[in-house]
């Protein structure tokens, strides 16, 4: 068993021949394999520390020369993975050096290799996040269109999923799993899964279509044909989250939204008309009522637009009332509800002040004797 260890030690140390004096190398080969393995670990820690120091200096120098934060953040995030990979490399050589070739050592080596792969995968995933946050998003903010702002998060999530999928395949290969048939089987499995995931795929495609078509974006106030009203909170791969004014989240599948009739209050611009219906008794002059309410709204409600102007329309001679509608425009849809409440109160007070009766449902019954 000791001979096997010594042979492995000699074989592993051979990779250092270009860097270490031959006499020193021969002397090292005579040492106990356990001591050599400890040496591997110690040297790996030293090299990892040196690498971190060098990378830290480079990061500081680069931060002074570049205006973007992307390269600085990427180098900062690379420090710990590089440190771990060097240490993992030293640990791998150490275990390989004392390995006797049995199953236990083989499993330990594969676990160390898996740890290295996971470290690389996590760094790539974090790098993708930095690329999106400090690279692509910065460019997206400089463009007039909001299309790229909406699509970037979706493709970021997809890239993370693909990274983990390929990483899993590599890890399986490290454990001796033949990934060839596995990849071939993915074609057949993919066909079966595609049928099983028709709804999910449809939602993903619909989500991209909604963004490309600029139906709405995050922050828009929308109303669905179901009557649900709120602001777009998040657009994900499968669904869109709508935050209602009761602070509730409604999750709607993207495929459903793509087929729905949607009212978007932010398009073509942010201004909106507030409609306030009211009624008066028969016998009142419609023109006098309309002028009274128009003047009151213009004088008392702040922040309404003058173009289009305030108008009061006589809309209907109903069964027991004359029906009107006050129409006023404001610059932002966020103020619509409060403005309508304010206008309701004002109209009620003005009608009472002018002694104009506000009707309620009545019915006249004639009896024949």
Model confidence over 165-214: pLDDT tens digits?
A: 888 888 887 787 776 666 665 565 555 555 555 666 677 777 777 777 77
Higher pLDDT, 128 or 354: 354
Burial string for 349-360 (b: 16+ CB within 10 Å, else e) reads: ebbeeeebeebe
pLDDT at 216: 84
Which one, of 15, 23, 176, 1, lies nearest residue 93 by Cα?
15
Q: Are strands 322-330 and 311-317 parallel, antiparallel or unpaired?
A: antiparallel
Mean pLDDT estimate for the chain: 79
Quote the DSSP letter at residue 16.
G
The model's pTM: 0.47
Domain ranges of the chain: 2-194, 216-264, 272-353
d(CA 37, CA 92): 9
Architecture of the domain spanning 272-353: 2-Layer Sandwich (3.30)
pLDDT at 9: 44
pLDDT digits (tens, 9 = 90+) for 293-329: 999 999 999 989 988 999 999 999 988 899 999 999 9
pLDDT at 40: 82
Quote the DSSP letter at residue 279.
E
pLDDT at 5: 41
pLDDT at 145: 46
Tell me the CATH class for 216-264: mainly beta
d(CA 116, CA 51): 17
pLDDT at 200: 66
Quote the DSSP letter at residue 310.
P
pLDDT at 329: 94
Q: Identify the band that residue 21 occupies on the pLDDT scale cut at 50, 70 and 90.
A: low
pLDDT at 22: 59
Q: Identify the band that residue 104 occupies on the pLDDT scale cut at 50, 70 and 90.
A: confident
pLDDT at 29: 56
């Amino acid at each position: 068993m000791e001979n096997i260890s010594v042979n492995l030690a000699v074989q592993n140390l051979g990779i250092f021949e270009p860097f270490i004096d031959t006499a020193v190398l021969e002397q090292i080969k005579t040492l106990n394999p356990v001591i050599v393995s400890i040496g591997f670990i110690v040297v790996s820690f030293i090299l990892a520390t040196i690498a971190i120091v060098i990378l830290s200096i480079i990061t500081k120098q680069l931060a002074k020369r570049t205006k973007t934060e992307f390269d600085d953040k990427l180098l900062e995030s690379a420090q710990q993975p590089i440190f771990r990979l060097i240490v993992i490399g030293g640990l791998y050589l150490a275990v390989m050096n004392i390995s006797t070739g049995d199953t236990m050592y083989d499993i330990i080596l594969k676990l160390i290799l898996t740890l290295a792969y996971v470290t690389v995968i996590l760094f790539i995933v974090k790098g993708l996040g930095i690329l999106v946050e400090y690279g692509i998003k910065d460019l997206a903010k400089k463009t007039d269109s909001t299309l790229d702002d909406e699509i970037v998060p979706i493709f970021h999530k997809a890239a993370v999923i693909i990274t983990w999928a390929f990483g899993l395949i590599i890890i399986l290969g490290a454990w001796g799993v033949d990934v060839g048939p596995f990849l071939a089987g993915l074609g057949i499995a993919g066909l079966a899964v595609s049928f099983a995931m028709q709804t999910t795929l449809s939602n993903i495609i619909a989500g991209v279509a909604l963004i490309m078509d600029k139906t709405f974006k995050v922050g828009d106030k929308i109303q669905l044909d179901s009557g649900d009203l709120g602001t777009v909170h998040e657009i994900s791969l499968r669904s869109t989250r709508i935050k209602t004014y009761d602070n509730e989240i409604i999750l709607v599948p993207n495929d459903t939204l793509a087929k729905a009739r949607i009212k978007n209050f932010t398009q073509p611009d942010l201004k909106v008309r507030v409609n306030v219906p009211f009624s008066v008794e028969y016998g009142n002059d419609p023109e006098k009522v309309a002028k009274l309410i128009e003047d009151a709204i213009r004088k008392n409600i702040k922040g309404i637009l003058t173009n289009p102007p305030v108008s009061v329309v006589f809309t209907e001679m109903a069964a027991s009332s004359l029906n009107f509608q006050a129409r006023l425009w404001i610059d932002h849809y966020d103020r619509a509800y409060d403005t309508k409440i304010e206008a309701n109160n004002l109209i009620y007070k003005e009608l009472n002040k002018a002694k104009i009766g506000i009707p309620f449902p009545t019915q006249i019954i004639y009896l024949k004797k």
